[in-house]
Amino acid sequence: MELCSFFNSLEAERRYGMNKKTIVVLFGGQSSEHEVSRTSASMIISHMDNEKYFILPVGITKEGQWLIYNGPVENIKSGEWEKYGTPAILSPDATQKSLLKIVGGKVKQIPVDVVFPVLHGAWGEDGTIQGLLELAQIPYVGCGVLSSSVSMDKVFTKIIAKNYKITQAKYIWFERDELKRKKTILNRIEKKLGFPCFVKPANSGSSVGTGKARTMQELEECLELAFKYDKKVVVEEFIEGREVECAVLGNAKAKASGVGEILAGAEFYDYDAKYNSTESRTVIPADLPPSIVKEIQKTALKIFKAVDGEGLARVDFFVQKGNDRVIFNEINTMPGFTTISMYPMLWEQEGLSKTALIDELIELALAKEKGIQA
C-alpha cells in the first residue's frame, strides 16, 4: 500500500466508525542492537492481524531520525527501508496522542492507539522511549520506565535480585574511572571470582561487548572491549552449566511459560552465536526435572514482579552442572522476536501463535492504560 493510500484508508476508517486500531511498530534505534531490532520488527509486522489493526511502521535511524515507512516488510530487515521513509515526530503533547508526519514543510497529525516499541538496548529498552510515551500518554507494549531502566542496567538488576534473595552468580562491578587503580581492580577480580570469568557492559544486550577472560591478559582485553559500550562494567564468576530461558507474559497476573534450553554454537552464547551461527540450537521444552522447571518459573515471576514488570520479559538462568542449582542470569524486558528468538517460540509451545501473542501484548498495553488487572 502506498503511503498516501494508507492515510486515506486510515481517515476513512475513522470517519465511518470502524474500530481498527492504529498500531505504531517502532524499530531500529541508535543502539548496537539496531539490526536485531529491525529483524524483530519484520517478524512482528508479518504476523500482525491486518483485519484488526492499521500497522504503521516507524523506524529510527542510527543517527536518531524518525521515519514512517510504507513498503515491503523485507526492506525493514535489509535496511533498505530508510530510502523510502517520510520524516515524522512523536508528539509529547498528551492532548494529541499522535504521530506528526512531516511532508514538504507541512505537518499532518496521525492519531495513535498503541505503540509497540520493538527496540533493543540503549535508547529503547532502557526506559527512555517509555518515558516519552508516558509523557504523550500513548499506551505501549511492555514494561514501564522504572522496570525497563533497572532491568537494562545489570548492576541494578543484581542489587534487586540480592534484596529478593534470588540466587545469582558472584560478581563485581565498577566504573571506568576506577581503572586508574587497574592493578587493584584486576587483583580483586582474580581473588573474588577467579578464572575464567565473564566481563559485560552494564547496559548492553544481545551479549554485545561481552567477553570471557581466562587469563589476566584476556581480562584486561575484555575490560577494554566492555568499556567501549558503557561507562560501567560487571564481571561475573563463570558458572558451568546449562543455559535456559523462561518467558513471562502479563501485568499484575503474569504467567510463566515452559523452559527452553540454549545449545550455543560457540564457547558461550555471544552475539555471533545468537544471530549468525548455524551451530546454535534451542531445545523446547528443555529436558529438565519438573521440580527444576517449577523453580525456574517461580523465580522468573519473582524477578518480574520485583522489577515491577509489565507486558513481557524473558528471564535467563543457568542450571549448574553437578547440583542442578538454578542461578538467575538476567531479565530482558523487550526480548527478540526474530525467527530464532526463544520468547515467541516458548509461547508457541504453550499453544499461543505469534499472531495471538501479539494480540495479547497489545491488549495488555490497553488494559494497563485503563487500570484493568491482567
Confidence check: pLDDT of 353 > 60: yes
In terms of Cα–Cα distance, which of 1, 252, 72, 222 is closest to 144?
A: 252
Q: Work out the average pLDDT over 4-24.
A: 63
Q: 95-109, 303-317, 353-367: lowest mean pLDDT where?
A: 95-109
Q: For residue 263, what are the β-bridge partners?
A: 281
Q: 193-197, 208-212, 230-234: lowest mean pLDDT where?
A: 208-212
Q: Work out the average pLDDT over 277-286.
A: 80
Q: For residue 79, what are the β-bridge partners?
A: none
Q: Work out the average pLDDT over 269-273.
A: 49
Which has more confidence, 10 or 134?
A: 134
Confidence check: pLDDT of 16 > 70: no
Rounded Cα gap, residues 103 and 4, in angstroms: 11
Confidence check: pLDDT of 261 > 60: yes
Average pLDDT of the residues of the chain: 91
Rounded Cα gap, residues 293 and 346, in angstroms: 13
User: Per the CATH hierarchy, to which homologous superfamily does domain 150-167+240-370 belong?
Assistant: ATP-grasp fold, B domain (3.30.470.20)
Q: Work out the average pLDDT over 154-165.
A: 97
SS3 282: strand
Cβ burial of 359 (10 Å; 0-12, 13-18, 19+) is middle
Confidence check: pLDDT of 370 > 90: no
Confidence check: pLDDT of 12 > 80: no
307-350 pLDDT, tens digit each: 999 999 999 999 999 999 999 999 999 999 998 899 999 999 99
User: What stretch of H or E contains 250?
Assistant: strand 241-250
Per cent of the chain over pLDDT 70 is 90
Rounded Cα gap, residues 202 and 151, in angstroms: 10
The pLDDT of residue 153 is: 95
Binning pLDDT at 50, 70 and 90, where does residue 114 land? very high
Those residues whose C-beta lies under 8 Å from the C-beta of residue 219, and which sit 6 or more positions away, are: 186, 189, 190, 195, 197, 199, 213, 235
The cell numbers describing 26, all together, are: 517502532
The pLDDT of residue 8 is: 53
Binning pLDDT at 50, 70 and 90, where does residue 9 land? low
The cell numbers describing 330, all together, are: 538476567
Q: Which of the listed CATH numbers 3.20.20.80, 3.40.50.20, 3.40.50.970, 3.40.50.300 matches domain 3-140? A: 3.40.50.20
Q: What is the largest CA-CA distance in the chain?
A: 71
SS3 29: coil
Q: pTM for this one?
A: 0.90
Rounded Cα gap, residues 73 and 80, in angstroms: 10
The pLDDT of residue 18 is: 63
The pLDDT of residue 13 is: 54
- The residue extents of the domains of the chain are 3-140, 150-167+240-370, 171-237
Per cent of the chain over pLDDT 90 is 81
Rounded Cα gap, residues 16 and 14, in angstroms: 6
Are 185 and 169 in contact by the 8 Å Cβ rule? The answer is no
The pLDDT of residue 277 is: 47
Confidence check: pLDDT of 34 > 90: yes
Q: What φ, ψ does residue 177 adopt, rounded to 5°?
A: -60, -30
Are 73 and 43 in contact by the 8 Å Cβ rule? The answer is no
Interhelix angle 154-163/290-306, nearest 10 degrees: 110
How many residues in the chain?
Answer: 374
Rounded Cα gap, residues 258 and 28, in angstroms: 30
| 3-140 shares its CATH topology with 150-167+240-370 | no
CATH of domain 171-237: 3.30.1490.20
